Amino acid sequence: MRKLLYLLIIAALLGACSTVDCPLNNTVYTYYVLRGPVRTLPDTLTISTRTGNGADSVLINKQVNTDSFSLPVSYTRNEDVLVFQTNHLLDTISIEKTNIPHFESVDCGVNYFHTITGVKFTRHAIDSVVIHHNSVNYDVSQKHFYIYFKEYRQ
């Protein structure tokens, strides 16, 4: 009887243990899709940004035949600034956002989801940028921005 009691206690303790269910993809990305007359960009596309310590970071380097791409979002800055270079033209896109802490468990720590509140951009190669879906989370299938490039670029 005593052995049975010990076995039940051990089984109860083992059953109380939980597994760590942190998501494998714990970085949130914004998804950009080209729209309008230029649906595939024949030029090379390089996208860079400034990191938290002020250094430049290349996110996409000389990608060709681009029709869509994903970029990571900063955790806690209220604005992300992206520099788009196509051949000899530079454009800047500034994305304003709110940062929402997202807590899943003690083991996973805090991650951040975002709500896009605005977008500003220059118009050298880019004609316009439209916010399609403003909620940024783990869902990588959402199209967040539509980018319209000008047809003629030098």
For the residues 99-126, what does the mean pLDDT come to? 87
User: Which one has a higher pLDDT value, 15 or 148?
Assistant: 148
How does the average pLDDT of the chain come out, rounded? 84
When computed from its CA atoms, the radius of gyration of the chain, rounded to whole angstroms, is 22
Q: What is the structure's pLDDT at 136?
A: 92
User: Which one has a higher pLDDT value, 41 or 2?
Assistant: 41
Q: What is the structure's pLDDT at 18?
A: 58
Q: What is the structure's pLDDT at 124?
A: 93
Q: Which residue ranges make up each domain of the chain?
A: 1-149
User: Which one has a higher pLDDT value, 117 or 110?
Assistant: 117
Q: What is the structure's pLDDT at 154?
A: 47
For the residues 61-73, what does the mean pLDDT come to? 92
- Give pTM, 2 decimals: 0.78
Q: How far apart are CA 99 and CA 70, in angstroms?
A: 19
Residue 54 has pLDDT above 70, yes or no: yes
Q: Which of 107, 99, 91 is nearest to 149 (CA)?
A: 91
Residue 90 has pLDDT above 80, yes or no: yes
For the residues 117-140, what does the mean pLDDT come to? 92
Question: Which pair of structure tokens corresponds to residue 24?
Answer: 């494998």
Residue 41 has pLDDT above 80, yes or no: yes
Q: Which of 152, 119, 153, 151 is nearest to 30 (CA)?
A: 119
